[in-house]
Amino acid sequence: MILAKYSTLLITTLLGIGLGGGFSLARAQERTPSVCPPPVLSRLVRHRVSAGETLESIARAYNLIPATLMGLNPVLRSGKAPVGTEILVPPFNGIRVELGSNQSWREVAKQYGVRPDALYEVNGCQSAPKVVFIPGVNWSPVASPGQSPSTQFTRILAGYPLPMQPSQSAILLSYGWGVQPTTGEVGFHSGVDLAAPVGTQVLAVGDGTVAFAGNQGAYGQLIVINHREGLQTRYAQLGSIQVKVGQVVKQGQVIGTTGTSGRPSLTQPHLHFEVRSRSSLGWVAENPETYLLQNIPRPNQATR
Ligand SMILES: [Zn+2]
């Protein structure tokens, strides 16, 4: 489903701006005084990894150190740059930090030993940002105060969207460009289709807040959950929805059941599952397998 680029963009716009509580960046930008440059996190450049490129070579091309790219792109933290992956590139070295609920940017500046005025300006002079970019600080799996970012990240989406073991729900259709089974046309599949009988419980893969719950075009019955660190998951083609917008959900909580609503890209019963990350261009679909579906068997590669 969601084969046309335009429908993806449309839904991104609708969901990214109209709903939920995770959009402070976009709102804050509207209030930003013109003397301030746009926040660094709104100026990230997208780079698609092509064959022959490495983490090091990409970093070099943008005059950055590899750690900066690893910090912003968890997919790179193994040290490898998978071909075809889209990564985010900041204009200079630094790290992205999510502020605690009562944490001010002044405290963050102190914590990381950077000048408060520099931090303020780099982040678009927002008075109460939720996420900031801290220039000149090197990302490291262990160096930041408290938890390691990589551990934090995997914990955010550590669950599985179906009650069965991942090994028992094959990927019927992968994320990315390919021939779409129902139409025979080449299109972009913005998530993964996980085999599951109609009526199977659907589970939140991480703690979060429901940003959308209802009918949405090709998605059919759709649930969108916003998580920490600018992550979002989407559960589509559902048969029933058991949560409401604004509801806080826990990892593993039942949020609905699988169905065949909307315009599924396959006739076999499945859950359409997406992982998206927030960017200046809206919510960008990422490959869910990168996050949590590493070990799912693919019995029928031809369906891709
Ligand atoms: Zn699908």
Residue 36 contacts residue 122 (beta carbons within 8 Å): no
Q: Enumerate residues with CB within 5 Å of ligand 1 (an ion).
A: 1, 193, 265, 272
Q: Is it the case that residue 152 has pLDDT exceeding 70?
A: no
Tell me what pLDDT residue 192 has.
92
Average pLDDT over the chain, rounded to an integer: 77
* One-character DSSP codes across 66-101: HHHHHHH-GGGTTS---TT-EEEE-SSSEEEEEPPT
Q: What is the pLDDT of residues 273-300, one digit of tens each?
A: 999 887 655 677 887 877 765 444 444 4
Tell me what pLDDT residue 299 has.
46
Residue 167 alpha carbon to ligand 1 centre in Å: 19
Residues facing residue 45 across a β-bridge: 89
Backbone dihedral angles phi then psi of residue 177, each to the nearest 5 degrees: -75, 140
Domains, in order of start, for the chain: 23-147 (3.10.350.10), 166-303 (2.70.70.10)
Q: Collapse the DSSP code of 227 into the 3-class scheme (helix H, G, I; strand E, B; otherwise coil) and give the result.
A: coil
Residue 114 alpha carbon to ligand 1 centre in Å: 45
Tell me what pLDDT residue 6 has.
33
Residue 204 alpha carbon to ligand 1 centre in Å: 17
The residue ranking higher by pLDDT, 171 or 143, is 171
Of 8-12, 46-50, 68-72, give the lowest mean pLDDT range.
8-12
CA distance 256 to 254: 6
Segment 34-52 mean pLDDT: 86
Q: Collapse the DSSP code of 203 into the 3-class scheme (helix H, G, I; strand E, B; otherwise coil) and give the result.
A: strand
The residue ranking higher by pLDDT, 281 or 203, is 203
Residue 280 alpha carbon to ligand 1 centre in Å: 25
Residue 272 contacts residue 264 (beta carbons within 8 Å): yes
Residue 50 alpha carbon to ligand 1 centre in Å: 25
Give this prediction's pTM: 0.52
Neighbours of 27 (CB within 10 A): 10
Q: What is the pLDDT of residues 110-150, one digit of tens each?
A: 777 777 777 888 888 888 888 888 887 777 654 334 333 34
**290-301 exposure pattern, b = at least 16 Cβ within 10 A, e = fewer:** ebbbeebeeeee
Q: Is it the case that residue 256 has pLDDT exceeding 80?
A: yes
Residue 44 contacts residue 230 (beta carbons within 8 Å): no
Residue 265 alpha carbon to ligand 1 centre in Å: 5
CA distance 60 to 76: 15
Q: Is it the case that residue 216 has pLDDT exceeding 90?
A: yes
Q: Is it the case that residue 213 has pLDDT exceeding 60?
A: yes
Of 41-45, 75-79, 198-202, 268-272, give the lowest mean pLDDT range.
75-79
Count of all residues that appear for the chain in the document: 304
Residue 277 contacts residue 284 (beta carbons within 8 Å): yes
Residue 253 alpha carbon to ligand 1 centre in Å: 22
Neighbours of 39 (CB within 10 A): 23
